[in-house]
Amino acid sequence: MKLHEYQAKQVFADAGIPTPASELASDVDGAVAAAEEIGYPVAIKAQVQVGGRGKAGGIKLVEDADEAREAADEILGMDLKGYHVDRVLVEEAVDFVNELYVGITMDRGEGKPVAMVSTKGGVNIEEVAEEDPDAIAREHIDPSFGMHAYQARKAVYDAGVDQSVARDVSNVLMTLYELWDARDGSDAEINPLMVTSDDEVIAADAVMNIDEDALFRQPELAEMEEEAAGGDELEQKADEYDFDYVRLDGNVGIIGNGAGLVMTTLDLVDHYGGEPANFLDVGGGAKAERIANALDMVFSDDNVDSVVFNIFGGITRGDEVARGINEALEQFDEIPKPVVVRLAGTNWEEGMEILNEDLVTVEQTLEDAVQRAVEYAGEVNE
């Protein structure tokens, strides 16, 4: 789960990390009023969860009320890389002399948190990591002890941060780790951490991603998640149904059980010349209703021309899956899109007996099922 910038800034500010004065607005008048209150110049920033907002025209620096009105009018309601902008953060523009990067993430290779500091802030840090890895100082943290102050200092000195702000940057890094640890962060980043001519440090952006598996013990953040929800309509629907779902560009709808098997089904669709429309994992032990929900999801996607169902039961049972498919399809006078079903594993034979074969095409193997679905999708497009 990813917090919006304004939410992450609030969390950081509450923990004592300096942030610029800012206010959230959802209409033009509100944005102008906020700008007047904060005092010009201000930045008007689209609150959507995509990278590269500035380049895409989602962040504008304004000097007066006319400019603020114009910018807010332009940004509110715009479509930014597929996301509708319905809120902006109006923020004090910080006059800076330097931009740093500080961040905490989980190093999965090491199985440990890692703190990172770089003097190359303000740009895409992933590019820096790729092109000039030495420009990022890294310090691994023992998760059973947490970050020691000396580790924060070491990372800051290793990165070459100027002596005049080293202490403040260390403090920000310590606080960021404590937040990351206490809030079950997966990533916590400030990029840029601005340095002013008065040697103050200010978090000009804020990224906080939370481990979804830990939301049960982060009730405040779980509430923010509801507020943060947005974006793709189908992905919202998937959230309601609690599916792992990713929308893709193709026209072959894919439903399966288990992440690895669903990914493999996508790859096979591609292998046989088709294009996957989505990744949809119903998970383990899905009952009939969940299977029907999955079909509803895929039918709701206008791009889908055919559907392939690939179930290899272990904990999931073929008879439950067959019941769900029947339930979902029997409500239609005409099936909206051809459905190909392949059942294997636990209770597949019982499933095959239950499955209404007037409504679907049955294939015995994964390869045959995928090829058939690709064929159907191709026919629609001819």
Partner 1 sequence: MSVLVDDDTRVVVQGITGGEGKFHAQQMMEYGTNVVAGAVPGKGGQEVEGVPVYDTVHEAVEEENADTSVIFVPPAFAGDAVFESLDADLDLAVAITEGIPTQDMARVNKRLSETDTRLIGPNCPGLITPGEAKLGILPGNIFAEGNVGLVSRSGTLTYQVVDSLTNRGIGQTTAIGIGGDPIIGTDFVDALELFEDDPDTDAIVMCGEIGGEDEEEAAAFIDDYVDTPVAGFIAGRTAPPGKRMGHAGAIVSGSGTGTAESKISALNDAGVPVGDTPEEVADHIEEFLA
- Contacts with partner 1, residue ranges (CB under 8 A): 51, 106, 108-109, 111-113, 126-127, 129-130, 142-144, 181, 184, 186, 211, 213-214, 216-217, 244, 246, 248, 256-264, 266-271, 276, 279, 281, 284, 312-315, 344-346, 366-367
Indicate which residue of 83, 101, 177, 376 is catalytic: 101
The least CB distance from residue 153 to partner 1, in Å, is 23
Nearest residue (CB) to partner 1, 169 versus 370 = 370
The least CB distance from residue 217 to partner 1, in Å, is 7
The least CB distance from residue 176 to partner 1, in Å, is 15
CA–CA gap between residue 282 and residue 285 (Å, rounded):
8
- For residues 277 and 254, the answer to whether their CB atoms sit within 8 Å is yes
Identity of the amino acid at 286: A
Question: Is 189 part of the annotated catalytic residue set?
Answer: yes
The least CB distance from residue 232 to partner 1, in Å, is 11
CA–CA gap between residue 211 and residue 97 (Å, rounded):
34
Q: CA angle, corner 268, sides to 266 and 273, nearest 5?
A: 100
Longest dimension (CA), the chain: 77
- The helix (H) or strand (E) run that includes residue 189 is strand 185-196
Nearest residue (CB) to partner 1, 161 versus 311 = 311
- For residues 346 and 317, the answer to whether their CB atoms sit within 8 Å is yes
The least CB distance from residue 367 to partner 1, in Å, is 6
- For residues 364 and 330, the answer to whether their CB atoms sit within 8 Å is no
CA–CA gap between residue 214 and residue 201 (Å, rounded):
31
CA–CA gap between residue 103 and residue 190 (Å, rounded):
6
Identity of the amino acid at 152: A
Nearest residue (CB) to partner 1, 69 versus 138 = 138
Nearest residue (CB) to partner 1, 86 versus 270 = 270
The least CB distance from residue 55 to partner 1, in Å, is 15
The least CB distance from residue 273 to partner 1, in Å, is 13
> Which tokens go with 128?
């820096």
Nearest residue (CB) to partner 1, 25 versus 125 = 125
Under DSSP, is residue 379 helix (H, G, I), strand (E, B) or coil?
helix
Nearest residue (CB) to partner 1, 126 versus 358 = 126
Indicate which residue of 23, 99, 189, 320 is catalytic: 189
Q: What is the 3-state secondary structure (H, E, C) of 266-278?
A: HHHHHHCCCCECE
> Which tokens go with 58?
């989602």
- For residues 341 and 309, the answer to whether their CB atoms sit within 8 Å is yes
CA–CA gap between residue 304 and residue 381 (Å, rounded):
11
Nearest residue (CB) to partner 1, 121 versus 256 = 256
Question: Which of 242, 379, 229 has the alpha carbon at shortest distance from 297?
Answer: 242
> Catalytic positions, please?
101, 189
